[in-house]
Amino acid sequence: MPDTLPSWSLADLYSSASDDNMTRDMADCRDRASALASTWKSRLHEADAASLAGVIEDYQAISETLGRLSSFADLAFAADMSEAETGRMAQSMRELESEISAQLVFVELEIARIDDDHMDALMQSDALASWSPWLRIVRAWRKHQLSDELETMLIERSPSGRAAWVRLFDETAASLRFPIDGQDVAESEIMDMMTDPDPEVRRKAGLSRSEVLDKNSRLMALILNTIAKDKSVDDRWRGFSRPVSARNLANDVEDEVVDALAHSVTSRMPDLTHRYYALKASWMGVDKLNWWDRNAPLPGEDPRQFSWDEARKMVLTAFDEFDPGMAEVAGWFFDRNWIDAPHRPGKASGAFSHPTVPSAHPYILMNYSGKVNDVMTLAHELGHGVHQVLAGPKGHLMSSTPLTLAETASVFGEMLVFRRLLDSTTDPVQRRALLAGKIEDMLNTVVRQIGFHNFEERFHDARQKGEQTPDAIADIWMETQADALGPAIRIDETYRPIWGFIPHFVHVPFYVYAYAFGDCLVNALWQVYSTAEGDARKDFVLNYLDLLRAGGTRRHDEALAPFGLDARDASFWSLGLDMLSGMIDELEAELVQAGLVETAHGE
């Protein structure tokens, strides 16, 4: 491992929180929003095609400037969530966003209300036709819109309402310290310890995490209950019949498709997680795994630490073998200081690629420790980053990808690196460890996320009947996670509080199924790619890059059509799940052949 890891520079957004350009841009947003509202509010139905296109262009420009401001504040906050000044700046930007959005809410509301026949006539203009993907999404919300006054009030109230609860969650999570062996460590460190080779370290880390989360469970229950109630009221006023439906509409996917995904994965849990964890327990010489050992290193796991330079080379080489242009874009993240990799107290845990705005570029945050999983995380986030860069020319309003497709490039990038590493590994012990590690990643991405989705569905349904106590929430958690993990994972009372710090439950309810959607989608794509040869493989690469460049302009059905895939077909989900099941079969066969296990069921 190198002595130092790269820390990003946010100077491509603003030089600092005191940058005069921030003050200028804030004033510019206010002035342009006020001018647009005074000219067009309550009059968009009168606009001809050229005028409406001009309004949309102005709206996009204001939104992008606002996005640049909020991105800088959000990234500075993520880099140090314990610093009061970054928290203050992030909140100030949320309030500015709320103020400007309230002024401009009329744009999307009035566009959605334009008569269909009149809109069809307007769309014959070349000036407006280019905005058709965005207009389709805006108009899909028509029947769920409230009055202008209510929509404005909801936006203005957001910083002191739902957004304030999200901030409370984030700052509480960042401030937590977990006692272990006489030291207090941050969440990212305690999570790292839960994959330590020493079972005693894992046990202590798991119990420390449980103890701290249990002490904070009342606060977390209050936050989750409030977020859910706020959503329930919003859904009722907007006419959504189910808690998940608003998220599905935002993701541009039908309820039935998401239900089919959840049902398919849930029905396959015995064949996937239950079978794999039984196999892992047998491999580790125990009847059952304690919950804190679920992600324990496997016997013979490669103990190597990959330096940052080694990780960079591994990822860029794999990307280059797929498409040199993709590797070139990924290289910019290293060369131009777009990545923040070290562990730091107060830094956000986990990893993400923040798209910022098309006139700038994405930034990647991760907590790099040099393990194989960290290399895969780097590949995952660089996949996101490449996707965000390629989609940028679509503009601020149409570059953002719906969550159903948002994980495509990240999971595909990860698969490229994994397959290259697996194919180059000849040592059978290392090969088994790599294969098992990838299976675990896929189980965490598909089955575990649907387990989380099932928890959210049951919790939100229960919340509609009244506030749920920490114990009631924990009961739902234990039941849904027992179904997802299976009998080979021992979950006891110490597992009850672990629901409390899964950020997606608070940040974006019903976000998690998108991970499973994306992973199954990529597994299906991978099967098309891996079996293609010659011109067919070249066509796949071109179609894949075209999918990434499309940003948010294509629905899942349109995006997948060039590959002969359709998520509305029930058999689509089986493609991805069968691939995962086949990998478990492959691992089990190798373990049996090596005499390390009998079978996953001990037969």
DSSP result, 115-163: -HHHHHHHTTSHHHHTTHHHHHHHHHTGGG---HHHHHHHHHHGGGTHH
Strands 289-290 and 178-180: unpaired
Using CA atoms, how far apart are residues 479 and 481, in angstroms rounded to an integer? Answer: 6
CA distances from 318 to 358, 413, 419 (A): 26, 8, 9
Q: How far apart are the first and last CA of the chain?
A: 43
pLDDT greater than 70 at residue 169: yes
DSSP, collapsed to helix, strand or coil, labels residue 181 as coil
Q: What is the dihedral of CA 366, 371, 372, 378, to 10 degrees?
A: 20
pLDDT greater than 60 at residue 603: no
On whether both 401 and 535 belong to a single domain, the answer is yes
Give me the pLDDT at residue 280, please.
Answer: 95
CA distances from 124 to 121, 131, 555 (A): 6, 12, 22
pLDDT greater than 60 at residue 601: no
Q: Does 198 reside within a domain?
A: yes
pLDDT greater than 60 at residue 425: yes
| Percent of the chain topping pLDDT 90 | 79
Q: Does 99 reside within a domain?
A: yes
Q: Does 302 reside within a domain?
A: no
CA distances from 241 to 234, 462, 467, 479, 529 (A): 11, 15, 20, 25, 39
Instruction: Please give the helix or strand (H or E) that residue 599 lies within, else none.
Output: none
State which amino acid sits at residue 306: F
- Which residues lie below 8 Å from residue 315, measured CB to CB, with a gap of 6+? 330, 375, 378, 379, 382, 413, 417
Last residue of a domain, one of 215, 235, 263: 215
φ, ψ of residue 122 to 5 degrees: the values are -60, -35
Using CA atoms, how far apart are residues 221 and 166, in angstroms rounded to an integer? Answer: 13
On whether both 83 and 198 belong to a single domain, the answer is no
Range picked from 130-134, 405-409, 430-434 for highest mean pLDDT = 130-134
On whether both 185 and 85 belong to a single domain, the answer is no
Contact 551, 394 (CB under 8 A): yes
Instruction: Please give the helix or strand (H or E) that residue 184 lies within, else none.
Output: strand 183-185
On whether both 60 and 198 belong to a single domain, the answer is no
Contact 101, 63 (CB under 8 A): no
Residue with tokens 């006020």: 34
pLDDT greater than 90 at residue 569: no
pLDDT tens across 106-115, in order? 999 999 999 9
Concatenated DSSP letters for 155-168?
A: HHHGGGTHHHHHHH
On whether both 534 and 403 belong to a single domain, the answer is yes
Mean pLDDT, rounded, for 273-302: 91
On whether both 100 and 196 belong to a single domain, the answer is no
Contact 18, 95 (CB under 8 A): no
pLDDT tens across 337-361, in order? 999 999 988 888 889 999 999 999 9
Q: Which of 86-95, 121-130, 476-485, 536-545 has the lowest mean pLDDT?
A: 86-95
Using CA atoms, how far apart are residues 100 and 112, in angstroms rounded to an integer? Answer: 19
Q: Does 94 reside within a domain?
A: yes
Q: What is the dihedral of CA 52, 55, 60, 63, to 10 degrees?
A: -140
Give me the pLDDT at residue 588, please.
Answer: 95
Give me the pLDDT at residue 599, please.
Answer: 66
φ, ψ of residue 504 to 5 degrees: the values are -65, -30
Give me the pLDDT at residue 20, please.
Answer: 94
**Which stretches of 162-254 are DSSP H helices?**
162-175, 187-193, 199-215, 217-238, 245-250
Q: Does 289 reside within a domain?
A: no
DSSP, collapsed to helix, strand or coil, labels residue 450 as helix
Give me the pLDDT at residue 407, please.
Answer: 87
CATH value at residue 384 = 1.10.1370.40
On whether both 384 and 531 belong to a single domain, the answer is yes
pLDDT band at 1; cut points 50, 70, 90 = very low
- Mean pLDDT (the chain) is 93
Contact 581, 272 (CB under 8 A): yes
Give me the pLDDT at residue 380, please.
Answer: 95
Task: Return the closest-CA partner of residue 110 out of 132, 142, 83, 133.
Answer: 142
pLDDT band at 501; cut points 50, 70, 90 = confident
SS (H, E, C) 524-540: HHHHHHHHCCCHHHHHH
Angle at 524 between CA 575 and CA 509, to 5 degrees: 90
State which amino acid sits at residue 256: E
Q: Does 322 reside within a domain?
A: yes
Give me the pLDDT at residue 157, please.
Answer: 86
Q: Does 467 reside within a domain?
A: no
Give me the pLDDT at residue 355, please.
Answer: 96
460's tokens? 């939100």
On whether both 189 and 121 belong to a single domain, the answer is no
pLDDT tens across 114-127, in order? 999 999 999 999 98
CA distances from 540 to 320, 494, 547 (A): 15, 48, 10
Q: Does 272 reside within a domain?
A: no
Burial of residue 225, with CB atoms counted within 10 A of its CB: 0-12 exposed, 13-18 middle, 19 or more buried: buried
Burial of residue 181, with CB atoms counted within 10 A of its CB: 0-12 exposed, 13-18 middle, 19 or more buried: exposed
On whether both 185 and 145 belong to a single domain, the answer is no
Using CA atoms, how far apart are residues 444 and 195, in angstroms rounded to an integer? Answer: 14
Give me the pLDDT at residue 45, please.
Answer: 92
Q: What is the pTM of this model?
A: 0.84
6's tokens? 């790269």
On whether both 328 and 185 belong to a single domain, the answer is no
pLDDT band at 2; cut points 50, 70, 90 = very low
Q: Residue 89 belongs to what domain range?
A: 20-159
Strands 178-180 and 183-185: antiparallel
pLDDT tens across 505-545, in order? 999 999 999 989 989 999 999 989 999 999 999 999 999 99
Using CA atoms, how far apart are residues 522 and 65, in angstroms rounded to an integer? Answer: 33
Mean pLDDT, rounded, for 166-182: 92
Long-range contacts of 442-445 (CB under 8 A, 24+ apart): 442/519, 442/523, 442/580, 442/583, 443/272, 443/273, 443/276, 443/580, 444/295, 445/411, 445/515, 445/516, 445/518, 445/519
CATH value at residue 80 = 1.20.140.70
On whether both 205 and 316 belong to a single domain, the answer is no
CA distances from 475 to 196, 239, 282, 499, 555 (A): 29, 30, 29, 10, 37
pLDDT tens across 19-75, in order? 999 999 999 999 999 999 999 999 999 999 999 999 999 999 999 999 999 999 999
On whether both 35 and 127 belong to a single domain, the answer is yes
Structurally, the chain folds into a number of domains equal to 3
307's tokens? 């330096």
State which amino acid sits at residue 147: S
Residue with tokens 């796991």: 301
Helix axes 275-283, 570-593, angle to 10 degrees: 20
Dihedral (CA of 226, 227, 229, 230) sign:
positive
Task: Return the closest-CA partner of residue 352 out of 313, 385, 330, 375.
Answer: 385
Give me the pLDDT at residue 187, please.
Answer: 85
550's tokens? 């499309």
Give me the pLDDT at residue 302, please.
Answer: 65
Q: Which residues pair with 73 in a beta bridge?
A: none
Using CA atoms, how far apart are residues 170 and 148, in angstroms rounded to an integer? Answer: 31
pLDDT tens across 55-66, in order? 999 999 999 999
Give me the pLDDT at residue 602, please.
Answer: 43
